[in-house]
Structure 1
């Protein structure tokens, strides 16, 4: 159900879904209620509930796959899509009714590779209680994202990406295993490196539902460990992808990412020691040095010591 729109620009909305029976219909209805026609593709990632049955009630494309994870679910949707641009919608989120029309209007004025727009947050499937989340810093004019990729939020929600860019990412990506966390990072950073121009739009057209999936701060034990396993895996694969793209100007930002991971792990007793081999791997790849880790460790220990003294 795809119609070409103004200046022949078309959008495919892709919705990866896993056990999303509680909210998938709200997501689909928000996509169907757009004021312009779009292609809608839902990928059921091996759900064990009634997600697929609910999706079949609507005039959308449904793809069924085993539980390979959201990265491969999105990949399947993008490969099947026929739109010029891809808009990724999480199964527990919704779009404002005029989101696609607004994006197309701006594409008519600025033919860019990626458009980022702002989001509202809500709870309990009810967008009437939506409120403004943190406002992004945006520029009025398109800019070269390759020089600022690591400065921006790498979440795929609220971003319209040219399908040709998506396909290039999938063709060069080294992400092979099932990734539960940070799959957005595995797509956005290579896409940013491949894009020539990027537009930030001061428009709130994406409704993000909070309180559905646990944030990292609420993860416990094995889930927290799994999250960090994915962190190291994805960072290494994206780093290698960028190397193959002969992109070196932003490689120092990977060091900053690893140091931030180390700082985050420091909050959890003994967690960083479980990942000693992964930090060693980052050193072997040349992303960081042993001295970087030593200096970060000293800084964190000093900060902890100062806090303890202040509390005495």
Structure 2
């Protein structure tokens, strides 16, 4: 595996591969790899001839008072894990290599970013779209794999690719979980022992909500029920949002007449945990 830090060097390598007729896969990450990241790499490896894994803690997607400076990292361990999963390149640029001092160009999909995490983190998806578009230009991938835990991000990137005619197939990978149901996240490292023990209640609450929706309970009552569930099961947690939305347009629904996405964000100490469940009715 080749570790590349210079964007121009990555682009040159990937253009050479494309000219040779090779299919490139991309897995964008911010590092501190867990089994969820590794599952994305394994899926991408199945779909391509050359696999590029990016490791870049993107400052543009962090707002004020967020954890940019303390985001967990393990470059040596991440490099070994990416190589073991078949990565041909680990792209790990410094922030200054990705954004010029006078950087002034941004990409956003505002209609899909009004709710859920976009309402709480107003600059987040603008930063995500911009850096992912830059990675697409550099890595020249035919396919890119993202996790469904960040469902809103996945929907936004699919719309960006569609609207801008970017020739990349976006693949969503199912959420990878601990044995007790907690969705894997690099930020799980922030949890105290007590918080970690309670955190699986997030998934359990979503499963109960899904059962209530399938049984015909109305949206407002189901959301209230989940809020009451979290108040009892996660007393140390603070709910950012509990929403039931259209899974493609990411807008709240009042009635269920097709598939819906139930999504939550819970703050527990230093960690902000998100999870979701697609409910087929």
> Normalising TM by the smaller chain, what interval?
under 0.3
Normalised to the residue count of structure 2, the TM-score between the two structures is 0.27
Which of the pair has more CA radius of gyration? 1
TM norm structure 1: 0.26
